[in-house]
């Protein structure tokens, strides 16, 4: 079997057309969706992500502003900035780029963001809403993956989904979203004994770990759907995922590449969340 490639760029483009229509409708009623991105310090990877997010906003006529703060800013200084953005009516989405310097408590910062502007979906109120079936913001990466699976008409109800990774931003919310779609969900993580024994049972595998080629063809069953969230660098510095793409392609039914799979969807869902917030705030 040779897997079909799930093209994140194509699906993302399809979703962005819908987002663009919503932006136009909002603009016609006098509302421009606005996103504030807060970047603390000089982390090169963070700067790249922030710039990609801003470019996407610009391309789709969403107002975005970048607030750059010095690495040495105090925790209170950052919290004050977040509060200022909470009170700014031109801003519908607030994103504080992680990681933050070690002297700042990330949890405190996330919990200071107004949940109604928390377009990253990291606030405990939004995490709770996801868990209890309420209408909140869903973290962009798992949100993008679920949209991808639906776009590809992959049967979720009754499917066994194995998620490798249990972070608050990817693994855990991914499981909640799949549960909502009636999948049977198994979580694996760093303390899981015999990872392959679990992943081999999976109809759908979501690899969100950050270890290059952790998932090989020995980890998957014939006909599985393999979603690779990982963003790692190979020896030449090229972007690669958590999955041995070549090996798994020979066995899987469908697979996402890195780059060009989950990554483009993540940014698109940030735009979707910002527009959703603007719609809610303009009611
Ligand atoms: P994280 O470091 O917060 O979590 C990693 C998880 O992997 C942990 O839950 C840990 O228990 C688990 N783990 C570690 N070693 C393991 C092992 N040997 N076997 C099984 N599980 C193991 O990472 P994260 O923020 O969830 O991100 C995971 C990966 O996804 C990273 O490569 C990150 O860069 C990438 N990522 C990509 C996007 C995107 O848009 N494509 C978005 C977010 C994260």
In this structure, which residue's CA is closest to atom 40 in ligand 1? 263
pLDDT band at 1 (very low <50, low <70, confident <90, very high): low
Rounded to the nearest angstrom, the distance between the alpha carbon of 209 and the centre of ligand 1 is: 3
In this structure, which residue's CA is closest to atom 17 in ligand 1? 190
For 30-114, the fitting CATH number among 3.40.50.10860, 3.30.1380.10, 3.90.650.10, 3.40.50.261 is 3.40.50.10860
pTM for this model (two decimals): 0.97
Contact 160, 183 (CB under 8 A): yes
Supply the DSSP string of 204-251, one letter for each residue.
EEEE-S--TT-B-GGGS-TT-EEEE---EE-TTS-EE-SB-HHHHHTT
Among all residues, which ones are annotated catalytic? 53, 97, 120
Q: Is 185 close to ligand 1, i.e. is its CB under 6 Å away?
A: no
Query: Is residue 156's pLDDT more than 90?
Result: yes
Query: Is residue 81's pLDDT more than 80?
Result: yes
SS3 158: coil
Candidate of 209, 266, 267 to mutate for ligand 1, largest count of ligand atoms within 8 Å of Cβ = 209
The mean pLDDT of the chain is 97
In this structure, which residue's CA is closest to atom 4 in ligand 1? 167
Q: What is the pLDDT of residues 178-218, one digit of tens each?
A: 999 999 999 999 999 999 999 999 999 999 999 999 999 99
Taking the alpha carbons of 261, 66, 92, 127 in that order, is the dihedral positive or negative? positive
Write down the pLDDT at residue 124: 98
Could you identify the residue written with the tokens 């899981």? 192
Higher-pLDDT residue of 261 and 1 is 261
Cα distance between residue 148 and residue 14, in whole Å: 11
CATH number of 139-262: 3.40.50.720
Rounded to the nearest angstrom, the distance between the alpha carbon of 208 and the centre of ligand 1 is: 4
Give the rounded percent of residues in the chain with a pLDDT score beyond 90.
99
Q: What is the pLDDT of residues 138-149, one digit of tens each?
A: 999 999 999 999
Rounded to the nearest angstrom, the distance between the alpha carbon of 263 and the centre of ligand 1 is: 14
Same fold, 30-114 and 139-262: yes
Residue spans per domain, the chain: 30-114, 139-262
Rounded to the nearest angstrom, the distance between the alpha carbon of 233 and the centre of ligand 1 is: 14
Q: Which atom of ligand 1 is nearest to the CA of 170?
A: 26
């Amino acid at each position: 079997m040779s897997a079909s490639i799930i093209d994140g760029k194509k699906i993302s483009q399809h979703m962005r057309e819908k987002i663009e229509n919503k932006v136009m409708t909002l603009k016609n009623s006098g509302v421009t969706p606005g996103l504030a991105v807060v970047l603390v310090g000089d982390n090169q990877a963070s700067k790249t992500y922030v710039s990609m997010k801003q470019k996407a906003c610009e391309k789709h006529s969403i107002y975005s502003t970048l607030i750059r703060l010095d690495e040495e800013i105090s925790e209170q200084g950052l919290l004050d900035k977040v509060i200022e953005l909470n009170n700014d009516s031109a801003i519908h989405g607030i994103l504080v780029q992680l990681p933050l310097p070690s002297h700042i408590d990330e949890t405190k910062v996330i919990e200071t963001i107004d949940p109604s502007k928390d377009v990253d979906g990291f606030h405990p109120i939004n995490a709770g809403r996801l868990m209890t079936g309420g209408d909140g913001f869903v973290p962009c990466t798992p949100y993008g993956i679920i949209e991808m699976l639906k776009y590809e008409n992959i049967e979720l109800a009754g499917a066994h989904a194995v998620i490798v990774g249990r972070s608050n931003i990817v693994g855990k919310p991914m499981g909640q979203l799949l549960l909502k779609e009636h999948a049977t969900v198994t979580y694996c993580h760093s303390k899981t004994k015999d990872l392959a024994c679990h992943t081999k049972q999976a109809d759908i595998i979501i690899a969100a770990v950050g270890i290059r080629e952790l998932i090989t063809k020995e980890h998957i069953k014939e006909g599985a759907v393999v979603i690779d969230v990982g963003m790692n660098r190979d020896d030449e510095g090229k972007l690669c995922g958590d999955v041995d793409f070549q090996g798994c392609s020979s066995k899987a039914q469908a697979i996402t590449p890195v780059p060009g799979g989950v990554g483009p969807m993540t940014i698109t869902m940030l735009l979707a969340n910002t527009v959703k917030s603007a719609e809610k705030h303009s009611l």
